[in-house]
Structure formats: C-alpha cells, structure tokens
A and B are shown apart, each in its own frame.
Chain A
C-alpha cells in the first residue's frame, strides 16, 4: 500500500534562506511525483511534475528531485520570500490504478 509522508509538518524560516522540503513514499514503482502549493482556503497549484524517468525538475527558484530507489523526493526553494508562505503537498498516482495519494503537507512560513 502506497503511503506518502512529508517532513517537517511545519517550518518557519527568515526571508532569504534556502530550504528543503521532504516527501517520502513507500512504493517505489511510481509513474511520477507532483508538488503542489496551497494557500489557505484556496485550490492546489501545480508547481512541478517529475516523471519516473527523470531525476529532477526546475522552475524558477524551485527545484524538485526524485530518487525512486530510496522512495524520496525533495523540493528545494532558493532565496525564500514571504510570498512563498503556503502549504506544500506532494502526490503520487497509485501504481496500477487511478487513485492519487497525497502527503499531509508542509506548512511553510517565511518571515520578513
């Protein structure tokens, strides 16, 4: 059974700091892994999608890596800004089916 865990659950950092968010999954046979951002009470915005054949994806100040063998993905945020404050979730589609498993998210607060 696929389980997705995100650590830490919450993180508070000063503006300008580089930070890493972690996502672990138990079944390494995944098609892809997707990172989302969610502002309070709002929808999920897709940040990065890493296919199983890829090692990393980059978009602006964001870089996501994928290590299937160890069941881990990291989201690196460079030079954090107060506008980055949000909850970040990772998700993997369940192999052999049509369900998507979400992590509980990491709530990030960037202090000005």
Chain B
C-alpha cells in the first residue's frame, strides 16, 4: 500500500530537549516536504526536498532542521524545541517534473507535538 509514515504520532516534550520526527514514503517519490498546521494559520511549509541531498527552506524554517540522505526518508529535527513549536506536523511526498512538485501530494497521518 502506498503510504507516508510519520513517527511518533503524538509526543509531549520539554523545552530544549532535542527531538526528531521521522517520515518515510514507499512510493519512490523525489519530492518530500514538512508542514505545520496551527489554528487560524492553516498549513505552512517548513522545509522541502527535491531529491536526495537537496533541501530548501519553506515559509517557516526557523528552529527546524532536515536531512535527505535516502530517497525514502526525510526526518524533521528540532534541535532545541520551544513552546511556540507546539503544533500538528505533516509530512508529504510527490513525484516531480518540469522543475516542480507536479504530482499528487500524499500526506502522512500527522504528528502532534506539545512542547512544555
């Protein structure tokens, strides 16, 4: 089954304690992306990756890091989480073409993060 898998689905942590949210896709997609969703602010893009070892900032990258060492995995790293990073996080993937993510976007189930 084609899917995007995120872990953990729920996490409560404390300020400053480094954490990683993993994302894996089994569709051989070149493009992967991270979003956060907050009430009243909608979906905002954090980082994206066009292929292995190629990443770029989205609209709200501050406080986050990513890496793309393998095509299927795109982990989101919070080096020193703060309460304003409490949010619902989504990973997505798609094919690429014409220099853009032109394929259908597939989303993971989401990871709800609370930073105390």
Residues of A whose CB lies within 8 Å of any CB of B are 31-32, 34, 36, 41-46, 49, 89, 91, 93-100, 102-105
Contacts and interface: CB of A to CB of B under 8 A. Distances in A.
B83 to A, nearest CB: 20
A37 B33 CA distance: 18
Contacts of B88: 41
5 shortest A-B CB distances, which residue pairs? Answer: A44-B107, A43-B109, A31-B102, A102-B43, A49-B104
Interface in B59-116: 59, 88, 90, 92, 96, 98-102, 104-110, 112
B112 A43 contact: no
B42 A100 contact: no
B35 to A, nearest CB: 8
Contact of B96 (A49, A96, A98, A104): A98
A58 B56 CA distance: 34
A64 to B, nearest CB: 13
A97 B56 CA distance: 10
A96 B109 contact: no
Contacts of B45: 99-100
Contacts, number: 59
Contacts of B31: 98
Contact of B105 (A42, A91, A96, A97): A91
Contact of A34 (B56, B104, B108, B110): B104
A46 B90 contact: no
Given A93-B102, A97-B100, 6 more contacts: A32-B102, A96-B100, A98-B31, A98-B100, A99-B48, A104-B42
14 contacts: A31-B100, A34-B104, A43-B108, A49-B104, A91-B105, A93-B100, A93-B101, A95-B100, A96-B99, A98-B31, A98-B48, A100-B45, A102-B43, A105-B42
Contacts of B99: 96-97
A43 B98 contact: no
B41 to A, nearest CB: 9
A44 B104 contact: no
